[in-house]
């Protein structure tokens, strides 16, 4: 089945220690998104890629970076995690090509704990 895959599902890192979360998709969608979701809150968009074009949300901290080496993969790098970065990180994809279905497809998320 076509899907969005996130690894790992649970990640523990130490305060200040860089961490990378990964996302892959088999949907061949041209747009990929990273969201941060804190407890009992709505997902908050960090950035998205439209093909290779990177689009950063204005209030996304510089501590968060992303890479998209190809259509299928996208990575979220947190350079120096703080306690406030503990959250669920959601990857999503969508297609904006003609005939696209408009909705975003979400992965299962990676829950990040910072100790």
User: Under the rule (CB under 8 A), what is the footprint of other proteins?
Assistant: 4, 6, 31, 40-43, 45, 48, 50, 88, 90, 92, 94-96, 100, 102-109, 111
Least CB distance from residue 106 to other proteins, whole Å? 4
Nearest residue (CB) to other proteins, 81 versus 107: 107
Q: How far is CA 49 from the centre of its chain?
A: 10
Pairing of strands 110-114, 10-13: parallel
Q: How far is the CB of 14 from other proteins (least distance, A)?
A: 22
Quickly list DSSP for 17-52.
--EEEEEEESS--SEEEEEEE-TTS--EEEEEEETT
Shortest Cβ distance from residue 16 to other proteins (Å)?
26
């Amino acid at each position: 089945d076509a899907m969005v895959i996130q690894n790992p599902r649970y990640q523990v890192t130490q305060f200040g220690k860089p961490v990378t979360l990964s996302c892959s998709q088999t949907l061949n969608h041209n747009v990929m998104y990273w969201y941060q979701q804190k407890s009992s809150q709505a997902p908050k968009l960090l950035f998205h890629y439209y093909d290779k074009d990177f689009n950063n949300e204005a209030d996304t901290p510089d501590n968060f970076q992303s890479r998209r080496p190809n259509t299928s993969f996208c990575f979220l790098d947190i350079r120096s995690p703080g306690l406030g970065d503990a959250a669920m990180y959601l990857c999503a994809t969508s297609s904006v090509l003609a005939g696209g279905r408009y909705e975003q497809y979400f992965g299962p998320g990676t829950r990040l704990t910072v100790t």
